[in-house]
Amino acid sequence: MANKEEKLSYREVIRMNNRAWKIWHKMCPKLFLATTLHSAFAALSPYLTIWLSAQIINELAGKRNPDTLMKLVLIQLISAAVLALLTGILQHWKIYEEDTASQMENKIYIDKMLTLDYIDMDSQHSFDLYSQMRQNRDWAGWGIHKTIRFFGESLKAILQIVGAIGLSVSLFTTKVPAGEKLVVLNNPLFIIAIFALMLFVALISPFCVSKGKAYWTNYASEARLGNRYFSFYGGMSSERKRAVDLRIYSQQENVCNFYLDENNNTLSSNSSMCKSARGPMGLWIALSQVTSVVLIGVVYLFVCLKAWAGAFGVGSVTQYVGAITSLFLGVSQLLQTVGMMKVNCEFLKTSYEFLDIPNKMYQGSLTTEKRADRKYEIEFKDVSFCYPGSDTYALHHVNMKFRIGRRLAVVGMNGSGKTTFIKLLCRLYDPTEGQILLNGIDIRKYKYDDYMDIFSIVFQDFQLFSMPLGENVACSSKYDAQRVIKCLNDAGFSERLKEMPDGLETYLYKELNEKGVEISGGEAQKIAIARALFKDAPFIILDEPTAALDPIAEAEIYSKFNDIAGDKTAIYISHRLSSCKFCDEIAVFDNGAVIQQGTHEDLIADKDGKYYELWNAQAQYYTENKE
Ligand code: ADP
């Protein structure tokens, strides 16, 4: 469960963070300018205040010249006000840029998801990587998200160190006057000892913090699992489709118990993660604080003793204490940030593994050219296919030709390979063996987008979007309204369209608009069919989008669709034979192979054939269509 951190070199840590910064820079080019300016002001401006304060105190404790004092106070006030104002403005700008970048983070993953090969999109491995990455981010911002701040934090720390060194050099170079009691403080050994102590604390303090924070990595898989449960159980109560089941089977109890269970090792205060936060994790962080306090004490002592011995005035005490404290904070902030960058790399690995999934599908360069005559002929030549990770063939030696403008039916029992056949036809997968040809050329040689342009498909599990009706049909925010209305009418949606309160502008569902309308399954199918018609592709495919309807209703929709498909080549898929009776040709699938092919009349005449057997077995469900 606890994944121990792999050792990563600092070079690798910088390389991985740099890659994330480049991603941010590409999305939000001004982010780094805002961060750099803010870091510079935030790191350096306090030193001006410290230095001026020291001058004022020295003047007060020395010559006490009213003119000089007035001038110094004025400069102090004006500079403090201007710097505070500028730092404030820059901080707002930086936060604005960070928030904008943060909002756009999803775009990184959406772009990747949309360009993944379907085979990877469909794979469990990609899904797991994606969901791990989301859960890492939702858990505590781990991954690419966390890197936004690292740049600013480390730059600020570096500048803080540089400024502090500039202000504290004279602490070591100013000597206690000869003959004074503590002249021993001039011994270079003191300088070495102070630096050694500072270095020791600067290293040990962030080391303790990193040790404490490394527990986050150790519990990564557990926390991800917790998040997975959390979103599953949390989301369940608001999902409409589960609302009835939850109530009827009193599943509320299970959901609530998940949160209330004190023995729950993922979310409760008794979880091992919480125990470690109360135990070793807390101790490491406390130890880091202790070491810092000790260092500050020692520096105070050294500075005060030197001042007491007469090396410098009381004003300089403020300057040196301020500068050394800042130096220490800068070093420890830098080391802490680098430590966090290292811890975060464990999470970045998952993000990069996902973003680096290659596109393995061969992309050809031929164009399909929109032919006015729509003469596209597709042929399956001895095609066999095995799903990735499976050792059984879902399709075996399929040979089939789609004749232009004809109606082809693909029928067979559930699981016989019909949808797989269509997925291969649309090049969502490439055949394991054999070839699919478009006008005699392997479909792999065509540009993928061009090839996709020749298909309109309504899948069984089609999805409509919570967007206006017109946009759902046209798949675009700009569309020809008359053509959309014609397609909706052709799909049988005309009556319902008249009832839509805002016509084509009416939102479907309520996710994005409270005035959105809920539509029935049958209405959704009609809209999906209208969408396929609107695309006006030469091939139109219905892959059982009507499976939820009764057989008679399905047969009606299929034969009506036959009229509106016009001169397109249409492919109908169904496990109900009656729905496809009218087709020019029927291919019967069984166990991934085409075992019969012909017209309904040919096939029904073969009394030993599968078609005859299925037809008779199903006849009882659709007596109206009975032979
Ligand atoms: P049909 O559309 O005729 O119901 P499918 O084409 O969906 O049949 O399925 C054919 C076979 O391929 C079935 O044995 C099914 O379990 C298998 N199959 C479908 N999808 C996948 C997948 N993504 N991974 C592995 N096997 C699959």
Q: How far apart are CA 265 and CA 51, in angstroms?
A: 53
Highest mean pLDDT (candidates 143-157, 355-369, 391-405): 143-157
Taking the CA atoms of 216, 222, 224 and 230 in sequence, report the sign of the dihedral they define.
negative
| Ligand 1 geometric centre to CA of 597 (Å) | 21
Q: Which atom of ligand 1 is nearest to the CA of 412?
A: 3
Q: How far apart are CA 237 and CA 245, in angstroms?
A: 11
Mean predicted confidence (pLDDT) in 345-367? 87
Kindly list the distances between the CA atom of residue 408 and the CA atoms of 418, 539, 586, 596, in Å, as whole numbers in the listed order: 12, 11, 6, 13
Q: How far apart are CA 531 and CA 533, in angstroms?
A: 5
**DSSP string for residues in 550-584:** -HHHHHHHHHHHHHHTTTSEEEEEES-GGGGTTSS
Q: What single-letter amino acid sits at 225?
A: L
| Ligand 1 geometric centre to CA of 86 (Å) | 63
Mean predicted confidence (pLDDT) in 70-92? 94
Q: Which atom of ligand 1 is nearest to the CA of 423?
A: 6
175-205 pLDDT per residue, tens: 888 777 778 888 888 888 888 887 888 778 7
pLDDT of residue 3: 46
Q: Are 586 and 580 in contact (CB under 8 A)?
A: yes
Instruction: Count the Cβ atoms, other than its own, within 10 Å of residue 53.
Output: 17
Our mutation pick for probing the ligand 1 site, out of 118, 125, 127, 387, counting the most ligand atoms within 8 A of Cβ, is 387
pLDDT of residue 122: 79
| Ligand 1 geometric centre to CA of 401 (Å) | 22
| Ligand 1 geometric centre to CA of 400 (Å) | 19
Closest Cα to residue 352, out of 32, 5, 7, 12? 12
| Ligand 1 geometric centre to CA of 334 (Å) | 54
| Ligand 1 geometric centre to CA of 413 (Å) | 11
Q: Which atom of ligand 1 is nearest to the CA of 421?
A: 6
Answer yes or no: is pLDDT of 369 > 80: no
Half-sphere exposure of 469 (CA within 13 A, CB side): 30
102-122 pLDDT per residue, tens: 888 888 888 888 888 888 887
Answer yes or no: is pLDDT of 19 > 90: yes
Q: For atom 13 of ligand 1, which residue has the closest CA?
A: 415
Q: Are 497 and 553 in contact (CB under 8 A)?
A: no
Q: Are 236 and 246 in contact (CB under 8 A)?
A: yes
pLDDT of residue 1: 38
Beta bridge partners of 379: 401, 437
Q: Which of 11-25, 132-146, 260-274, 601-615 has the lowest mean pLDDT?
A: 260-274
Q: How far apart are CA 572 and CA 592, in angstroms?
A: 17
Mean predicted confidence (pLDDT) in 129-147? 87
Mean predicted confidence (pLDDT) in 242-249? 74
Our mutation pick for probing the ligand 1 site, out of 391, 419, 546, 576, counting the most ligand atoms within 8 A of Cβ, is 419
553-590 pLDDT per residue, tens: 677 777 777 777 778 888 988 887 777 878 888 999 99
Neighbour order of strands in the sheet with 593-598 = 455-458, 539-543, 569-574, 407-412, 585-590, 593-598
Q: How far apart are CA 298 and CA 246, in angstroms?
A: 64
| Ligand 1 geometric centre to CA of 422 (Å) | 11
580-626 pLDDT per residue, tens: 878 888 999 999 999 999 998 999 898 888 888 888 887 765 554 44
Instruction: Count the Cβ atoms, other than its own, within 10 Å of residue 259.
Output: 13
Q: For atom 22 of ligand 1, which residue has the closest CA?
A: 387
Q: How is residue 354 written in tokens? A: 């996902």
Q: For atom 25 of ligand 1, which residue has the closest CA?
A: 387
| Ligand 1 geometric centre to CA of 561 (Å) | 26
Q: For atom 10 of ligand 1, which residue has the closest CA?
A: 417
Q: Which atom of ligand 1 is nearest to the CA of 413?
A: 3
31-61 and 66-115 helices cross at what angle (nearest 10)? 160
First and final C-alpha spacing in the chain: 63
Mean predicted confidence (pLDDT) in 237-258? 70
| Ligand 1 geometric centre to CA of 324 (Å) | 69
Q: For atom 26 of ligand 1, which residue has the closest CA?
A: 387
Q: For atom 21 of ligand 1, which residue has the closest CA?
A: 387
pLDDT of residue 627: 41
| Ligand 1 geometric centre to CA of 499 (Å) | 39
Closest Cα to residue 587, out of 459, 402, 382, 429? 402
Q: Which atom of ligand 1 is nearest to the CA of 575?
A: 3
| Ligand 1 geometric centre to CA of 592 (Å) | 9
Task: Kindly state the percentage of the chain with pLDDT values over 90.
Answer: 28
Q: For atom 16 of ligand 1, which residue has the closest CA?
A: 415
Q: For atom 1 of ligand 1, which residue has the closest CA?
A: 415
